Every structure is written in C-alpha cells, then in structure tokens.
Amino acid sequence: MTSFSELGLSQKVLNAVEAAGYTEPTPIQAQAIPHAMEGKDVLGIAQTGTGKTASFVLPMITRLERGRARARMPRTLILEPTRELAAQVEENFNKYGINHKLNVSLLIGGVSFDEQDRKLQRGADVLIATPGRMLDHFERGKLLLTGVEILVIDEADRMLDMGFIPDIERIVKLIPFTRQTLFFSATMPPEITRLADQFLHSPVRVEVSRAASTATTVEQKLLGVSKKDYEKRASLRDLIRNQADLKNGIIFCNRKRDVSELFRSLDRHGFSVGALHGDMDQRSRMAMLKGFKDNKIQLLVASDVAARGLDIPDVSHVFNFDVPIHAEDYVHRIGRTGRAGRSGAAYTLVSKPEMKHLDAIEKLISTEIEWLSPIPEAGSEEDEKDGRRGRKERGSKRGKRDRGEKRETPVEAAAETVETQVEAEPEAPKEPETRKSRSENKPENRSDSRPDRKDRKRRDNDGPVPVGFGEEIPAFMMNGQ
C-alpha cells in the first residue's frame, strides 16, 4: 500500500497531512500526485467523494514553497463551478497549508469587491474563483493572469452543465501557454473530452474508476410515487420516518421553487430541516451548511448546487425527491453519502413521467436499481381518496389567500382581477332563446356581425364575464330608439 511519504511531497505538507489524521492516500491521490509533482498536465477522472481535492491541493502547496506572489498577479488559479466548492477548496488549503504562509484569495459572489481587491493587492499565491466573479475583477483591471504557473479546472462536467465553458475558454487564453494544467471531472461526456484535448498538453490520464460509476458502498433503491406533488411529499415523509438508521440526509430537488416548497412542508410536519439553493446569499448558504455539518440540522433540502464536491464526510442518506434530468447528476447526488469507505443509502422517488430520466441513469451507470414499490396506477381507490384530500387542502390554501372568500369557478377567478368587484357567484347558463331575443333587439342597420360571433364564441368557451355591458346593449335601454 502506497503512503503519502512516497508521493514526493515536502516534509511540511506531510506533517500537515499527518496532523489532519490521514495515513494512506486514496487511489486518485496515489496516481495523480506524483505526476503533478513532476509538472505534467493531468486529466483526472474519478467519482465524487474519492479525494480529488487533495490530489491537486497537496502538490500545489509543495510547489508553492519556492517563490513569492506579486500584487494582483496570482501564482496559481483554481476554477470551481459554485461558491460552496470554492470555499471548500479554501478550507483544504488552510488545513494542509498550516505550516506555510500562503496568501489564499477567494473570488466568489456574495462578497464585496473591495474586500476581495484588498486581498489581491497583497499578492495571492493561490487564487480560487468562480469564473464569472474572476472575469469581473479582470475586466475592472484589478487582476493580471500572466503570472499563473498552475491552472486547475475542477468539476469540469459541472462547468459544462452550468454554461461556464465559454468563460473557461476565455480565461485559458489569458493564462501563459507554459502553465501546468490539472483537469478533473467525475464524468467524461464528449464535450468534456473535446475541452480536455483543447486545454491539456500531452496529459497523463488518471482514471481510478469507470466514468459515471457509483460507489459500491451506497445502497440504491427506487420508490414509485404519484406525480402529484402533495402525494410525493407524503411519500417522502413516510420514507424518512421509516429509516431506522437515519443520522442525517440531503434531499435533492430539480428546481429552486421545489426546494422552498418542500422545506416549508417538512418544517410544518416537525422535521429538523434546512434549505440550500442558488438564490440564497452567500452568508446564509454557508451558515446553513455549517448547521448541517455540525448536526444542528438533520435534513438539508437542496438543489444541485449542493450536489458536487461538498465536503460533508458522514451523510447517511440521500433522497432524490425528483429524478435528476441529467443522468450524470445522479452520480454526484448519491456521491454525497457512502464517502471514505462508509456505508450509505440513496432513495429516489420516481413518478411515471420521470421514467425516461431513470432509464438514462441506469444506462449510464450500467446498473438496474432495485424497486421498493412500483409506481401506483392512476385512478385507484387510494389515489382518488388522496386526490380528494389534496383538492381539499388546495382549496383551503386558496381560501386563506382570498381572506375567507370562497372561489367557485374559473369565471369568477378571472372576474376578480378587474377593478370593479363582481359578486363571486357562478352565473347561470344562458338559454338559446335569451341569446336570440338579444340579437333581435339590435339595430337593423348594424351590418357588421363580427362582434356577435366573437361574443358568442366567448360565451361558448366559458370565458370571463365582461364587466359592464360588453358589446351588447340591454333591450330596456333601446326602447327610446
């Protein structure tokens, strides 16, 4: 078994690794670190949770022992797709660089430009940044990239998903051609392969597991659910309550809106829960993550902003409230559990419309996931009962919004949007004779019949009741003509 002392790291770094409690490198670290120490470009492919961060942090710290950074000219640049990942890499430099006096600068959104500019002015040995914020500083003339010796592109496939590739291509053109590039990704779709060929020069390929594989320590299960949101939430609550070994868990949703709704639902039902999504400010996001890491919050409802690389070492469960649209995201989501050899459990709620996404996932990971229960058939007696209950709940919510006024029909709902208040009572359907009598009372010299057709069409389609007289004049007002 390889030890850290055999990887060519400096004694100061080895002492820091030992102080952190690590004795043996992971496979990706054992294979990538020696090549990185030799100054070669590295293409690293490994599933999430295998120690990729340390595989570039440790050799970078060793190589940075020689030389000093100049103002506004960082010596190394690490690009991350999210603020959380960038902050996590900074924590790794603080932990493993405890015996060094490195200036580490973090450029992410949610922090004032002035504070970040002051750190750049002092000179940054390590610059960790999200692409957008880094380019903002560059365009303001606060940053020069001509002194970058080592470039790290981390979570490259996530960069692709988030639309950062044009920014990455622009940044790479600003960095010296003679740089060393370390390129890491959990999956290698064709687009990422093309970028690796573009950015790397004769790279050493390090692949410790099949691309897009899932950890063997994670037990994966599927739970068939109704497509109705309120029923999915009820199924999730029952699933969570039935987990005897639940220590903590991350619940993933596809949309930020669903994160907020699910968080409020779980909170109402007495669960210890927090939320994490991209619209939260940086301070709130970091506070929420800290509360989850410190076990002050048992469940964390999150969008995919939390799926990649977050260093939460002991998550017992992952729940996919939604089947991820991109199959690769499934690998990263369930990679939050079963880390560092620990066992974990991943449950995915699947409704009928989501089967196509599940098929793509099983094809990607070459594994058929076991079902706990099938997707319920629509129209069953239990579905009807739950449907009535759900409609009752939704009606109650609408009643609260309307301050107690009962809303009976779509016609009345549309009528409430106009300035004149209309009595919230469904209008009786017009008899054919009534429509005929109205047409007989119209002026004879009115040759254009299009308004009549429009009005008849509107009535036939049950459109909103026109306020006032609309396009017809009542008979009693025509008597004087």
| Mean pLDDT of all residues in 360-369 | 90
Which tokens in the block code for residue 302?
């999150």
Please check whether the two domains, 4-207 and 218-375, share a CATH topology. Answer: yes
Angle at 15 between CA 9 and CA 21, to 5 degrees: 110
| Mean pLDDT of all residues in 101-107 | 93
Domain made up of 4-207: CATH architecture: 3-Layer(aba) Sandwich (3.40)
For residue 307, give the nearest of 296, 321, 294 by alpha carbon. Answer: 321
Q: Tokens 């999730």, residue?
A: 236
pLDDT at residue 105 tops 50 = yes
In this prediction, residue 1 carries a pLDDT of 59
pLDDT at residue 325 tops 60 = yes
pLDDT at residue 285 tops 60 = yes
Q: Tokens 């797709």, residue?
A: 81
In this prediction, residue 67 carries a pLDDT of 84
Which tokens in the block code for residue 431?
């008899």
Which tokens in the block code for residue 114?
């002035």
65 contacts: CB under 8 Å, gap ≥ 6: 10, 12, 100
146 contacts: CB under 8 Å, gap ≥ 6: 73, 174, 175, 176
Percent of the chain past pLDDT 70, that is, above it, reads 75
Say how far apart CA 340 and CA 54 lie, in whole Å. Answer: 13
Under the banding of pLDDT at 50, 70 and 90, the label for residue 435 is very low
- pLDDT, tens digit (0-9, with 9 covering 90-100), for 200-250: 999 999 988 655 667 778 999 999 999 998 999 999 999 999 998 999 999
For residue 76, give the nearest of 34, 104, 109, 37 by alpha carbon. Answer: 104
Q: Which of residues 209 and 309 earns the better pLDDT score? A: 209
Say how far apart CA 87 and CA 102 lie, in whole Å. Answer: 16
Sorted by where each begins, the domain ranges of the chain are 4-207, 218-375, 410-478
Of 302-306, 345-349, 352-356, minimum mean pLDDT range: 302-306
DSSP state at residue 6: G
Of 310-314, 369-373, 394-398, 456-460, minimum mean pLDDT range: 456-460
- Topology of the domain comprising 218-375: Rossmann fold (3.40.50)
In this prediction, residue 252 carries a pLDDT of 95
Angle at 417 between CA 416 and CA 418, to 5 degrees: 95
Q: Specify the amino acid at residue 220.
A: Q
Please name the residue ranges forming H helices in 200-299: 229-241, 256-268, 282-293
Under the banding of pLDDT at 50, 70 and 90, the label for residue 323 is very high
Percent of the chain past pLDDT 90, that is, above it, reads 50
In this prediction, residue 211 carries a pLDDT of 55
In this prediction, residue 287 carries a pLDDT of 87
Say how far apart CA 56 and CA 6 lie, in whole Å. Answer: 16
Q: Tokens 């970091």, residue?
A: 286
Rounded mean pLDDT of the chain?
80
In this prediction, residue 345 carries a pLDDT of 95
